[in-house]
Amino acid sequence: MSNKSTVSDFQLLEFSEVRELQFLHFIAFLMVYLATVTGNLLIIFSIALDHHLHTPMYFLLMNLAMQDIGQISVIVPKSMINSLLNTRHISHSGCVAQVFFFHSFAASDFCILTVMAYDRYVAICNPLHYEMVINRNVCRDMIVGVWIAGILYAGMHTTGTFATHFCSNIVNQFFCDIPQLIRLTCSDFNIIEMTTIGIGIVLGLGCFVYILVTYMHIFTTVLKLPSTKGRQKAFSTCIPHIIVCSTFLFTACFIYLKPVSNTPSSLDLIFAVIYSLIPPMLNPVIYSIRNKEIKKGMAKVLGFRYFSMNT
């Protein structure tokens, strides 16, 4: 294509040229999407409809579920439609929207996981001060800050990516991923986007280190408890939380810091699937499977009579 700051459309990567495999991709993504949306919607409705769950911890969890739904809904439906219709097309405006909303939800998601780690730290390590430190006003302000931070970060990414000249419209990824879009630019260096990526990596690593340190304090406190059940509950929640955060962060770092290549890589595709689809799908499992209150709320939403956790 000629050097233009905008192009009329982009061509996304197709998983296969074989029609049967395209249908297989559609079915696989449909199952992942339905599982993710269903799990997160159950959490949202369970918390919203049960006044016993109107606490800061569950308010944070409800916002995490909303962000997870938004993150996966930005990219998966378009990929499924393309496979079903045997096309690779996405409009320029659609690509811009994918970049903005995906990074807005992803950044907000990681920020709220950090806030949730702080909430658990105060609740476990300083329980007597919890009501004073984490009250509804503070919780609301933190959530507003998380959403604003995600929007600002996504705005920087979107501006830095599309305020340049594209020499091609072939995106070697199943959605408009920034590293692949950068490879289409005519210039060798985009100072705005490189600065934004650097800021994102530094902030992401900072949040991850904070989560690790916070959970180290939580583990130290929990190990002093005489209750074995309490220790198992803390470990079963915190360790999967760390696994999800580390999976998202390190796969994203691999994609963004990998040297530029003009040929599609299977690793790029695999890592993109991991960091974009796996965390939103696992979060509902991590935060509901061992939580009695969430299970009760889900039972009410689904219309089941809740007898006991052992039934």
For residue 70, the model assigns a pLDDT of 94
In a domain, 4, yes or no: no
Angle, helix 228-257 to helix 92-125, in steps of 10 degrees? 150
Please write the tens of the pLDDT for every residue from 119-153: 888 888 888 888 888 888 888 899 999 999 999 99
Q: Contact, 169 vs 7, CB < 8 A?
A: yes
310 part of a folded domain: no
Whether residue 13 is contained in a domain is answered as: yes
Please check whether residue 51 lies inside any domain of the structure: yes
Residue 308 lies inside a defined structural domain of this protein: no
Distance from C-alpha of 94 to C-alpha of 14, rounded to nearest angstrom = 17
Determine, yes or no, domain membership for 48: yes
Q: What is the pLDDT of residue 152?
A: 92
Query: For the domain that residue 196 is a member of, what is the CATH number?
Result: 1.20.1070.10
173-210 per-position pLDDT tens digit:
889 988 888 888 876 666 766 777 778 888 888 888 88
Per-10-residue mean pLDDT, the chain, length 311: 59 82 90 93 88 85 92 93 88 92 91 88 85 86 92 89 83 86 74 75 85 86 73 69 77 71 70 85 76 74 55 44
The 10 Å Cβ neighbour count of residue 174 is 25
> Two tokens at 55?
């606490």
- Count the domains in the chain: 1
**In-domain check, residue 169:** yes
Residue 183 belongs to what domain range? 9-302
301 contacts 49 by C-beta, under 8 angstroms: yes
Whether residue 116 is contained in a domain is answered as yes
Helices (H), 183-227: 191-223
